Amino acid sequence: MSFFIFLTVVQAIVASLLVITILMQKSEGGGLGVGGSPAGFMSARGAADFMTRATTVLATLFVVLSIALAALAVGATSSRTIDTSLERAAPVNPPAVDPLAPAQGAPAAPAAAPAAQPAPANDPLGGSTGQ
């Protein structure tokens, strides 16, 4: 377990250095190769830049550490069993209840309210005209 914690700390340091390295680089307009001059994209001078190399090394190290930590996490948890000490036994045959049936001893549903009187045809608002 201490090796897992050690690798987690190393990965946090690598991630911090990667963020700092990326933020220190000069912006050449647009991300993912959009914009900028095509001559400087893959030239010997562009590939030899220290910041580019540092970013590549740190990104590769971050991915390798992530895969190693995932493999260690799977190996550490695969030997464990599920704790069933709090498991409750469910009833085998629950009683069948009709949710639409009225409860025993409950009064019948009240009768529907009488329909409203239609408004007179000459009143546009539907109220009484006071006559």
- Return all residues near 14 (Cβ < 8 A) that are at least 6 apart: 58, 61, 62, 65
Put residue 112 in one of left, alpha, beta given phi > 0 → left and psi -120 to 50 → alpha: beta
Q: Tell which wins on pLDDT, 59 or 1.
A: 59
- How many Å is the maximal CA-CA distance in the chain? 100
Buried b (16+ CB within 10 A) or exposed e, 63-88: eebeeeeeeeeeeeeeeeeeeeeeee
Sketch the domain layout of the chain as residue ranges: 2-26+47-77
What's the CA gap between 76 and 64, in Å, rounded?
A: 18
- Is 3 a residue whose pLDDT tops 70? yes
Across the chain, mean pLDDT equals: 73
CA distances from 63 to 4, 50, 52 (A): 16, 20, 17
Structure-token match 């009833």, residue found: 91
Nearest to 69 by CA among 14, 2, 7: 7
pLDDT category at 130 given cuts 50, 70, 90 is low
- Is 90 a residue whose pLDDT tops 90? no
- Is 10 a residue whose pLDDT tops 90? yes
- Is 80 a residue whose pLDDT tops 60? yes
Q: So what's the pLDDT on residue 44?
A: 45
Q: What is the mean pLDDT of residues 95-119?
A: 66
First to last CA, the chain: 92
Q: So what's the pLDDT on residue 6?
A: 93
Q: So what's the pLDDT on residue 81?
A: 73
